[in-house]
Structure formats: structure tokens, C-alpha cells
Amino acid sequence: MKKFTITLLLLTGFSSLACAESLSIADLGQLELAYTQARNVDGFNGTTLRATVSVQPGQDFRLLSPIRVQQLHYLIADGTFVSQNQAILSLSGSEVHHFKERYDAGKSILAVASRRYQSNLKLYRQQAISESQWQETNRQYQEARLSLGHLQHFMELVVKTSEDGETLTIGAPIAGVFHYADLSDSSMEEPLLATILPPTSLRLGVKVPLSLVQDLQQLRTDHCVVEMTDKGRYADNFFVQAWSVPLGNNCQLLAGQRVAAIPHYAIQGYQVPKQAVFRLHQQQWILVRQAEQLHTIAVRVLASEPESYIVSSDTPLSGMDILTSSVGALQGMLLGMGGE
């Protein structure tokens, strides 16, 4: 009966402790209590992320073909840096010949439409023809001009035509990193022949935890350290896409390459020993000494190091004595699970 009474009193005491935000040091008996102080940090390295060398959406130059591709031959290796007008690919087949015929016919049609346009423009200004006649003349001229202009833009890229007229050699429209197209994709009205990535557009792209993206300052790889500049605000589940500044020549990374990158977050926080942090009611806490009391303070774990955590808190932790021993025992008390 005596043992039962003592146990009941202990459990009653622990139950009251579980409802409190502070513990009296005098009530903790012979528990070993050791303390340390948090170290202020203005940044930390996070968990390694997987980054890709690429360009932001829409910055690559897409080379489209008005010719239905029958045979395509790339003249340089995928990923090669090309200069403007450098021969990059050739198109062959009867469709090339038909394209040439369409182009020549388009020039003739535009020439006729242009002469009619100039002639009728004078008559229209003299009010010698009706409004409807002028509108029809103008419509035919504009249609012929636009139709030929579309073909003309592609013909300007042709650096060589075979004697039989069935092979065209195409030059690069801009300087940059040349990339083969996926020729199996038939969803586009005009087939994609290749893409060219402008040299100043290559960046490191990475998906960053939503809670940390706005604090991301740098990415460190085995090749270089790059600053982060563009942090998206569209979440994909718990992550957000972020981009570095354009990569310099010192990075020596290839377009499409995937690399391990260590993120550095510029955020005010505290470094505390791992044994000081405990979990209670879906929240991380520490215990700090104030006079003869231990008070619970909520923290948020930002990063994990071998022997410590980087944490943030709504309560300033500078100069506070943080409990580092017997934390598990006090956690049990707060949970109402003290021993006999």
C-alpha cells in the first residue's frame, strides 16, 4: 500500500508537469543538468540537391522546318558550341525539291501581287476604283507577302544547295550550344529540327524546399560556386524551381549535365547540440534555464549537422543557457511518462 501511494503521488506530480511550460529545477532531484549557449549563424549549408545545367523556359532558340522531314543528317555532335551561320544539319528528299518550288512560286506570286498593289494604290487615291476592289487587292498582296516571308526566313538559313536541288544545308541562326531535337515528336505543325542554347543563358536549375527557397543564396558544386537569382513562386508539391545566374567559363559544365549541389541559405539562426532538441506534440523544443526554472521554447529545425542542428525560433536564443543533458528524462516528464 505504501509503494502504491508513492507511485500515485509521483504520477500526479508528473501529470501536473506535463501541463506546464516550465519545470522547477528544485523538483528534478538528482538529475544531471548541463547547459550550453547557442551560437548565432547567418547562414548554413543544406542537404545536397540535384541541379541541372539548362536554360529557363523560352530562352532556347527553336529551329523549325517548313519542310516535312524525310531525311535529316546532323553535321556536328550534340552539345557542340556553334557560331552563327555554321553548317549544322542537312535536309534531303523530294520534299526539299517541293519546298524550293513553293518558294520560287511564292516569289512570282508576290511580284505580281506587288505590281497590282502599287498600280491599284494610285487608282484608289484617285478614287478611280471602289473600296471593295482596293480591299481585295490589299488582301491578296498581304497574303502573298506573309506566305513568302515565312519561307524566306528559312531560306536565309540555307548555306548550300545540292546540284539536284534535293538537299539543303542549314546554318545556325545564332551562336550557342547546339542540341538535337526529338524527331519522334510529331505533335508540332512544323517539325523541330534542333534547339540552340545562347551561351549566356546556361544556368543551374534546381528544385528547392518551399520553406527555404527565398533564403537560397548560392549553390556549390565540384566545379564552381554560383549565386542564385531567380526564385520561383509556383510550388510543385513541396518544392519550387530556382535558377542561378548565367554560368561563366570557370564552371566547365555541359548543357544537360546533372550535378550534386550543396545549397547555402542566408538565414539568421542558431546552432545548438542535437541532444538539446526534443519533440513533443508534433513540435521541436528546447529547454532553457531562467533563474530556478527550465522553460520550453519552440524551435524549427532548418538543417542537420553531424553533432548539431541549425534552428530558428520566435524567441531570441542569444545568451540563454540551453539544457544539453537529461533532456530525454524531462521530455518523459512533460509527456507524463516518468518512472517510479
Question: What residues have CB less than 8 Å from 123, skipping those under 6 apart?
Answer: 129, 134
pLDDT at 14: 36
Q: Quick one: average pLDDT of 219-225?
A: 93
Residues 156-214 have pLDDT tens digits of 999 999 988 899 999 999 999 999 998 877 777 889 999 999 988 999 999 999 888 99
311 burial via Cβ count (<10 Å: 0-12, 13-18, 19+)? buried
pLDDT at 8: 31
| Whether pLDDT at 5 is above 70 | no
Return mean pLDDT, the chain: 88
pLDDT at 211: 85
338 pLDDT band, cuts 50/70/90, is very low
Residues 7-27 have pLDDT tens digits of 333 333 333 333 347 889 998
* CA distances (Å), origin 284, targets 212, 243, 312: 18, 32, 11
Q: What architecture is domain 61-197?
A: Orthogonal Bundle (1.10)
Residues 241-291 have pLDDT tens digits of 999 999 987 788 988 999 999 999 998 899 999 999 999 988 999 999 999
pLDDT at 17: 38
Residues 202, 254: Cα–Cα separation, whole Å? 9
Residues 98 and 224: beta-carbon distance below 8 Å: no
User: Is the CATH number 2.40.420.20 carried by domain 2-41+268-335?
Assistant: yes
Prediction pTM value: 0.68
pLDDT at 6: 28
Residues 201 and 55: beta-carbon distance below 8 Å: yes
Question: What residues have CB less than 8 Å from 52, skipping those under 6 apart?
Answer: 204, 205, 206, 256, 257, 258, 259
| Whether pLDDT at 233 is above 50 | yes
335 pLDDT band, cuts 50/70/90, is confident
Rounded percentage of the chain residues whose pLDDT exceeds 90: 69
Beta-strand relationship, 39-41 and 258-265:
unpaired
Residues 314, 268: Cα–Cα separation, whole Å? 11
